[in-house]
Structure 1
Amino acid sequence: MIALLNATRTFWMMFMKMIVGPRTRTIVCSLSENENSLLFLANMGYPAEEASIAMERCGPEASFSELIDFMCAAQMAREEDVYLPEDEKPKLNSGGYKRKMYNELPVRKKQRAITDEEPIHLPRPMIGFGVPTESLPAIVQRTLPEQAIGPPFFYYENVALAPKGVWDTMSRFLYDVEPEFVDSKYFCATARKRGYIHNLPIEDRFPLLPLPPRTIHEAFPLTKKWWPSWDTRTKLNCLQTSIGSARLADRIRKAMKAMENFDGEPPLMVQKYVLDECRKWNLLWVGRNKASPLETDEFEMLMGFPRNHTRGGGISRTDRYKSLGNAFQVDTVAYHLSVLKDLYPNGINVLSLFSGIGGAEVALYRLGIPLNNVVSVEISEVNRNILRSWWEQTNQKGNLIDFNDIQQLNGDVLEQMIDSFGGFDLVIGGSPCNNLTGSNRVTRDGLEGKDSSLFYDYVRIVDLVKSIMSNRRV
């Protein structure tokens, strides 16, 4: 049996080498889907032998993406081997080293189904208590528990698709207030499924004007010229803290070029591969066969921040993406906070916990609510510098006080600040979703994670502020 498989594989390798070239167009129609895929990989520039081995190792059901990932992993392994000392390198035995290297590479398993997602019912459409672009079928009302009624108002954001039990826990710790789930795709051209636990009024909300573009082509009109007809995206997916690599862009370019030169219909899995990667990494078509990740200024625009908000001050491009990926979507948050404009016409005092690059502050400023006093707690020096820079650039008249450690904010410090400027009107926060998001399979440890455990500090601070201010009113 083994001899038969080896003979078959040898035949296919010889066959692939023979047909790759000008005669491809006359033979392709007679090949099966799997054989077509192997031929297509060869046309993309992958050696026919590597494509054949990848198909053998990954199995006939492997997706185009899995085959390419397998070959790229093999290529990276070869590149790393160049730097190994001679005594650490495996011995070459009649060409067997190359085969051994392939055989030792793990087969990429299909992504397991998520079984620990939050069982709480997420509404469809995810519009919470309403969005400016969609109408609700009925008047929405809610009744808050007595201990949750503000002021001070509190507002906490986190990722909607959290692990099992997370939203129940957060709701329980914040006075049993039910979360409001909203997808930012109703406010801009990118999805961002988030939940918000807050005690803000929900009547008489209004959006920021002008309304931002809500489709990809409205936001990036120059891409329409290069957009393939089979790429049916109108919205981008949730923006992450990382972007697609140069290697990925090159693989997509090769796949698109090979599709152009392919006589007849290319394998459907090729189109699916390209589209899946574009969706996953939010790639835009910026030229002929050129799929590119978002630039940082484009990222800023989609998130509702002013141009160059994260630029300058020695901040690296990587840090800019990371900071933006963990930020509030300004238009969404501003819609919820808009109810505060009539309540605080003379300005507002804000306690902003884990405020990142100042999404809450930008939202309030754009709503026309004066920022009298802002106390910001943020561990990242990069994020603190971005917020401080924005504060200075916009000539804020109020006071910005920042802390780099939430533990510095104890009862004595809070009492001094509350006595100094009369208390806080809003306690707003949100922790990075790295420990909660479904895309993270390494440190997805719920509310016990390093970042998400900050929620308990948020609860502690809200309780302290409410208690101190309540005692001052007695």
Structure 2
Amino acid sequence: MADWTSDSDGSDKFEWDSDGEAEASSAPAMRNFDAPGPSTLSSNGWINGEPPPTSLIEGYVAMGFPKEMVVRSSKEIGHGDADALLELLLTYKALGDDDDALGNHSTSGCNLPIVEDDDDLDFENWDGDDDTGGRESSSDDSGYEEFLREMSDKDEKINSLRDMGFSEDEANMAITICGVDADLSVLVDSISASQVTEVCHSRNLSDHQVTARCFDSFGGKKRARLIEESKKKRKRYGGGAQGKRPSSDGSDEESMPLPNPMVGFNLPGYRGPSMTRVLPELATGPPYFYYENVARAPKGVWAKITRFLFDIQPEFVDSLHLCAAARKRGYIHNLPTENRSPLLPLPPKTIFEAFPHDKKWWPSWDQRTHFNCLQTCTASAPVTERIQQKLSSSGNPPPQSVQKYVRHQCSKWNLVWVGKDKAAPLEPHEMEYLLGFPKDHTRGFGKTQRYKSLGNSFQVDTVAYHLSVLRDMFPNGITVLSLFTGIGGGEVALHKLGIHMRAVVSIEICKANRKILRSWWDQTQTGTLIEIDDVKSLKDDEIASYVHRFGGFDLVIGGSPCNNLAGSNRHHRDGLEGEHSSLFYDYFRILNSVKSAMANM
């Protein structure tokens, strides 16, 4: 794959050999509206001593909000920010119980904190390459336990809201506003209220204009319709059903559910039913093509990719069924699915099979058998130092709260036990081994670059299992067009399968990755390697010239950058319209150009 930080904005501050780690910020400050400080409220309860204008209150009352609700909301957050005030009123109204909303809202399910940036990591979706640091909890043991409990609850609700079709940013903001203990129906209502507010403020109006004009836009029947729709959502979503909701870009894509277990069409030793499929005539090879990206993409992404790639159903596979590390990926290809065979010898399938020497120091309460997805970054020294300090100051075994905290850090960062109370990140050569690359494949570059390149790569054993059908189909060798080549995961898979590559045209933008591939090629291959640095520079006439030169391509393989797709990218998860993930369209363009050129041979 291309040299992009595949699931996040990506900084390299979380390297093992970094000089330090920025201290985790404290939890966002929560305003206690029932006991405000003297500097913010006047003696009569108004923030900064300024009651709202009578006309403002009357305007909200005319809209249909109870006067007591308007007054109470103004006392809580002031009236200077019409955006926040309208959102609070809409949220209370959407809850459908004015009396409860006007009561002690600290128990109504919707607290309103002062919000800072929320960078909490979605551990369940830590399936990409997020270089953002996780927050450390407070030093006392109960703090660790509470931290992990809230994190688990939050992750579950984020996933539920995503399944409903809401974006991850919307889910995070709703949980920040309403609290992690809020019912799912309350979170849905809060998101709906926020969407209304955004519509009002998209017009760049002043506060009073916003108030007046939003009354017009959302007054009367429209406001009633909003509340009715909110009630319907509560009934539908609160019951756990997954309804269809238009995506934020105006498209109306269906969600594509992920299978469980994520074993693809078949796997070695898997006793479940095999998938038999019939491909559209337009999709049949040659050329054969193979496309990969993260499985947990935003709603509608895989449906759109499928539509572009001849309506072929994706094959979703978690690599933990083939090796010792998870890697949830989707593959769309037109390869046969029968008569596949795994690489031999079979790779280790558990942590201890891969690294038996680590078992000596492994605590019994750390019961991991597989690593999580291998990332482009790793834990910094302060993370492992805090683990050691916590354990050395605890008994044996340590308290449950310490165990949970340490297990969380070890799972998140894929740490291994290398000494008494001493956890450490995987070394680059260990990641090479887990991903199926030859030893020292990335050696010669700094750790930062090696982690980044490996984190963005194919899992070789998984890809080789799918490509194994080509071995008997091309006994005299194969010509390959490799898009977003990365460090050559596809090429290494073909080589391990014993398939001679007569020619490979490789397109990879990262200079370091190109050097890694070239070094490996010169040591192991006798065919022709042509390197191009950018997919956008490859035009139809050049593709036609390569097709003529090599007699066509037997395989077009690649995985476009997943920066804007993966769950751990909180800030730029823009789907296929993102800056990097939109390069998928170049994969589709180039594939069609190859097919057209070969049809004209």
TM range (shorter): 0.7 to 0.9
SS at match of 2:263: coil
Give the deviation of 1:68 after TM superposition.
3.7
Give the deviation of 1:439 after TM superposition.
1.2
Give the deviation of 1:431 after TM superposition.
1.9
Percent identity over the alignment? 59
Provide closer, same or farther for how the CA distance between residues 463 and 231 of structure 1 changes in structure 2, counting only shifts above 3 A. Answer: same
Provide closer, same or farther for how the CA distance between residues 279 and 152 of structure 1 changes in structure 2, counting only shifts above 3 A. Answer: same
The reply to whether residue 307 of structure 1 matches residue 443 of structure 2 is no
Q: Which runs of 5+ in 1 are unaligned?
A: 1-53, 72-107
The reply to whether residue 282 of structure 1 matches residue 414 of structure 2 is yes
Alignment of 1:423-434 (within 5 A): 423-434=552-563
Distance across 1 between alignment mates of 2:394 and 2:269: 39
Please name the residue that 1:116 is paired with.
162
Give the deviation of 1:445 after TM superposition.
1.3
Please name the residue that 2:113 is paired with.
none
Alignment of 1:392-471 (within 5 A): 392-394=522-524, 396-471=525-600
Give the deviation of 1:449 after TM superposition.
1.7
Alpha carbons 2:340, 2:468 under 8 Å: kept: yes
Bigger RCO of structures 1 and 2 (CA < 8 A, at least 6 apart):
2
Provide closer, same or farther for how the CA distance between residues 368 and 266 of structure 1 changes in structure 2, counting only shifts above 3 A. Answer: closer
The reply to whether residue 329 of structure 1 matches residue 459 of structure 2 is yes
Please name the residue that 2:490 is paired with.
360
SS at match of 1:466: helix
Give CA-to-partner distance per residue, 1:77-136, whole Å, 9 cap, x none: xxxxxxxxxxxxxxxxxxxxxxxxxxxxxxx99667143358312111111111113222
Give the deviation of 1:291 after TM superposition.
0.7
The amino acid of 2:332's aligned partner reads I
Provide closer, same or farther for how the CA distance between residues 301 and 55 of structure 1 changes in structure 2, counting only shifts above 3 A. Answer: closer
SS at match of 1:373: strand
TM-score using structure 2 length: 0.60
SS at match of 2:503: strand
Q: Which runs of 5+ in 2 are unaligned?
A: 1-25, 33-119, 121-132, 140-150, 166-254
Give the deviation of 1:381 after TM superposition.
0.3
Give the deviation of 1:139 after TM superposition.
4.0
Alpha carbons 2:266, 2:274 under 8 Å: kept: no
Give the deviation of 1:57 after TM superposition.
6.5
Please name the residue that 2:423 is paired with.
291
Q: 1:270 aligns with which of 402, 405, 418?
A: 402
Provide closer, same or farther for how the CA distance between residues 55 and 367 of structure 1 changes in structure 2, counting only shifts above 3 A. Answer: closer
Give CA-to-partner distance per residue, 1:292-349, whole Å, 9 cap, x none: 100000000000000000011xx21101000000000000000000000111000000
Aligned length: 374
Distance across 1 between alignment mates of 2:27 and 2:518: 54
> How large is the RMSD of aligned CA atoms in angstroms?
2.5
TM-score using structure 1 length: 0.75
Give the deviation of 1:69 after TM superposition.
4.3
The amino acid of 2:547's aligned partner reads I
Alignment of 1:113-152 (within 5 A): 113-114=158-159, 115-116=161-162, 119-136=255-272, 138-152=273-287
Provide closer, same or farther for how the CA distance between residues 318 and 406 of structure 1 changes in structure 2, counting only shifts above 3 A. Answer: same
Alpha carbons 2:435, 2:458 under 8 Å: kept: yes
Runs of 4+ in 1 over 4 A off after TM superposition: 54-59, 108-112
Distance across 2 between alignment mates of 1:56 and 1:415: 57
The amino acid of 2:563's aligned partner reads N
Please name the residue that 1:47 is paired with.
none
SS at match of 2:441: coil
Please name the residue that 2:17 is paired with.
none
SS at match of 1:286: strand
Alpha carbons 1:326, 1:433 under 8 Å: kept: no
